[in-house]
């Protein structure tokens, strides 16, 4: 059941990123798809997540460095129309991940 929920979350994240016209082959796309379910879990269980730790988890899964994860995610919100899709102003990496997470939670009625 939990595995199915994670797959559903990832599909919704991909739909959202696709609606913002973000190419699937950008590494930031893959990192966001990996990071958002972790952020959703932290919100759902009312846990505090440290961005540096999140970058380490994503980096380990993708066999890269936390700095590359941070830069790739930043590139997404600085060079795409994701903020318009999320109806948000200027985004940071943290606010981008939280806004996507909240939108996915609302769509899946996980609030």
Task: Give the tens place of pLDDT for each residue, 47-79.
Answer: 998 999 999 999 999 999 999 999 999 999 999
Domain that holds residue 34: 2-107
pLDDT band at 1 (very low <50, low <70, confident <90, very high): very low
pTM of the model: 0.92
The C-alpha atoms of residue 31 and residue 87 are separated, in whole angstroms, by 21
pLDDT band at 2 (very low <50, low <70, confident <90, very high): low
Distances (CA, A) of 99 to 2, 46, 68, 81: 22, 16, 21, 14
* Tens-digit pLDDT profile for residues 15-28: 999 999 999 999 99
How many domains in the chain? Answer: 1
Listed residue (81, 84, 83, 51) closest to 69, CA to CA? 51
Residue 29: CATH number of its domain: 1.10.10.10
């Amino acid at each position: 059941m939990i595995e199915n929920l994670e797959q559903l979350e990832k599909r919704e994240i991909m739909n959202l990123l696709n609606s913002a016209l973000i190419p699937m082959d950008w590494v930031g796309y893959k990192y966001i798809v990996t990071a958002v379910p972790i952020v959703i879990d932290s919100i759902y269980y009312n846990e505090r997540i440290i961005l540096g730790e999140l970058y380490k988890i994503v980096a380990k899964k993708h066999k890269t460095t936390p700095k590359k994860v941070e830069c790739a995610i930043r590139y997404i919100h600085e060079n795409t129309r994701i903020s318009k899709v999320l109806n948000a102003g200027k985004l940071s990496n943290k606010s981008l991940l939280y806004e996507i997470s909240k939108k996915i939670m609302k769509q899946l009625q996980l609030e």
